[in-house]
Every structure is written in C-alpha cells, then in structure tokens.
Structure 1
Amino acid sequence: MGDYVAPGEEPPQPGIYRSEQMCLSQLYLQSDAAYQCVAELGELGLVQFRDLNPDVSSFQRKYVNEVRRCDEMERKLRFLEREIKKDAIPMLDTGENPDAPLPREMIDLEATFEKLENELREVNKNEETLKKNFSELTELKHILRKTQTFFEEVDHDRWRILEGGGGGGGRRRTVPDDERPLIDVGDEAGDFGLLNPTLTMSMLRLG
C-alpha cells in the first residue's frame, strides 16, 4: 500500500519497504466518454479504482450488461483455445497486449466469436456422429464375415457328406457326432441323388 501525498507535500522516495508514489484523485467523466477514458487509464496500468458503492450488488450496477458480454466473449475464446490445443495446432504468441476495442468493434467481435463457436460445435457433433457410424459399420462388417465363414463351413460339410455317401455300394458312411454339420442334409441329399453333384449343391446352397 503506497503513501498518499497531500497537495504541496514532498513525496517520500521509494525504497525496499516503500512502494512507488501514489496520489488519491477523483475523476468526473461523462457517460459517453467514460469507456474510452477508462480504457486509456487501463492501458497505462498506473491506476487503481476504489469501489464507492460497496453495498450495491454486482447485478445492480450500471454497466453489468457490458461486463456480461465481455465475460461471454472470454468464455468463447477459452473454448476456441481449448479446442485448438486439443488438436495440437500451434498458436503464435506475439506477446502483444491489444488495445481495448471500441464499443462498435465489440459488436463485430461478438458476431465473429458466435459464428466460430457454432461452427466448431457443429464440426464436433458431426465428428462424433461419424465415429459412431464407423463403429457400427465396423461391427456389422465383422458380423457379415463371421456369417460368411459359417455358411462356407456348412457347404464344406455338405460336400464331405455327399462324397462320403457316394461310394461303398450305396451304403451311407456313418459320420461321427463331432463331424456332423449343424444342418443335417443327409436325407435330402439321398432324395436328390448323386448323378450331378454340381446341381445338387446348387439346390442345397443357402444364401
């Protein structure tokens, strides 16, 4: 906390345990020029404001709507920054502190931030939808492959049964239980006969 200097007094020199010289002032500003004046004082970085209305709620102050707009724009900027860092996109840090925008420029900034946020949220939503569809299609692809393998094994077992039943004087070979196919087509194969195995398999083929 610095020492207040009365008019006409010699200010003390700053030291290790003493802050820079400070002076208490009171400013009267017009409402139209208040924004630009406070912005210029903020650029100097040498002013500390005192709250002369400590009993007034933050939601009842005069410029609460403007403060909310700035807070909302800051939230959108943090969202954009978080998305950029998530995708490991390099950002150029110039180290510069831009000047406070004019009131009419804030309207353009609000529109720009709103557009960027909506577009980015739409992109994220589409990405999630595409990932979900990809997972479902990948699952369906594996199911179809397993189904194709199943039917190929059934066809192979049919051929083996038909070839085994064609020899031995018309006697049918006994198939062990562990080699018996899931679909028993032995009787149907006997009805069709073995004169044309190709025709028989085309009549028995599933799918």
Structure 2
Amino acid sequence: MAEEQKEKYLGLYTILPSEISLQLAEVALDLKIYEQIQNKVKEVEQSKAMSQEYGRQIQKIAKDLTTILTKLKAKTENLAQAKADQKVLGEELDGCNLKLIELDAAVQKFSEQNSQLGKPLVNKIGKLTELHQQTLRQAENRFSKLNQAASHLEEYNEMLELILKWIEKAKDLVHGNIAWNSANQLREQYILHQVILGKIFRKM
C-alpha cells in the first residue's frame, strides 16, 4: 500500500514551465523593489520628523534667548534686585548654552546623513549661535555695570557718612561747643574741619 501511494505522488510531480518560473522571479523582484521603496519612504518620513523636531528645538532656544536678552536690557533702580536677577538670568543663559551645544552636534550629524534637510537647520543653528553670543555680551556688559554701580554706591555711602559727620561738627560750632577763648583750640577745630572738607571733596 505504501508503495502504491508513493508511485501515485511521484506521478503527480511535474516541473514548472520556464515561463511561469520567469514570471515568479519577476514578481519576487518587484516585491523586493517595492519593499525597498517602502523602506526608503519610511526613512524619508523619519528624517522629516527629525528635521521638524530640530526646528522646534531651535525655535524654543531662540525664544528663551530673546526673553533673556530683553530682561538684560531692562533698566532697574533696585541694585540688590538687579544682582539677584542677574544671577538667575546667568543660570538660564548657561542652560541655553548647553542645549545649543547638544543641538548643534545633533544637527551636524543629521546634516551629514540628510544634506537636503540638514542644510537649512545648519543655517538656523548659525543664526542661533549669533543670538547666543549677543545675549552673552549683553550679560557681561550688564554684570560690569552692576559692579560699577555697587562701587559707586559704596563711595557715595562713605561720602554721605563724612558729610553727616561734618554737619554734626558744624552744629557744634553753631551751638558754641568750642572754647572760643582758646586760640589753640579754635585753630585745631579749624584744621579738623579743613581735613574733613578735603576728604569730602576728594570723594566727589
């Protein structure tokens, strides 16, 4: 029985005609090409998505830098508050710098693999770097001015203290606390006031 089944199946076995084999080969090739095309389309879509994401990151950093730059240019009359704000803005600027460095490296790598999509991003990174440098210069300039203001305020306070002392001495003169019958004491008081006035004018 087994031999009969074997002969039956062998009798049914036939070799495919060459035309059909060729058609199947063409179909297989078409399927392979289609798969390659689909993979390429997928890569392009992924590249576009990455390009858009990098673009959003660039816009975010640019917005943050513009906000910092605006605050750095703002005038203030409160020196203590200005110093506190300067510290916060400096930290925010450092954060933008780190993000810019990381983004620049990522965009450069992306541009090497996708020159068409990467070139506009590289140009935007260049402009963003210029904005960062401008903001950094403004921060340094403001820091310098704050230090100068603090120094001037200290000098002003010293001068004010001398003036107040001079006023007290003048009050003593007006109220006759000096022993006018002593020429030596009068001369000493005169010299003392001259010294005080000299210090005041040197501070001005």
TM-score normalized by the length of structure 2? 0.37
Looking at both structures, which has the greater relative contact order when contacts are Cα pairs under 8 Å and sequence separation is at least 6? Answer: 2
Say which structure is richer in helix: 2
What TM-score comes out, normalization by structure 1 length?
A: 0.37
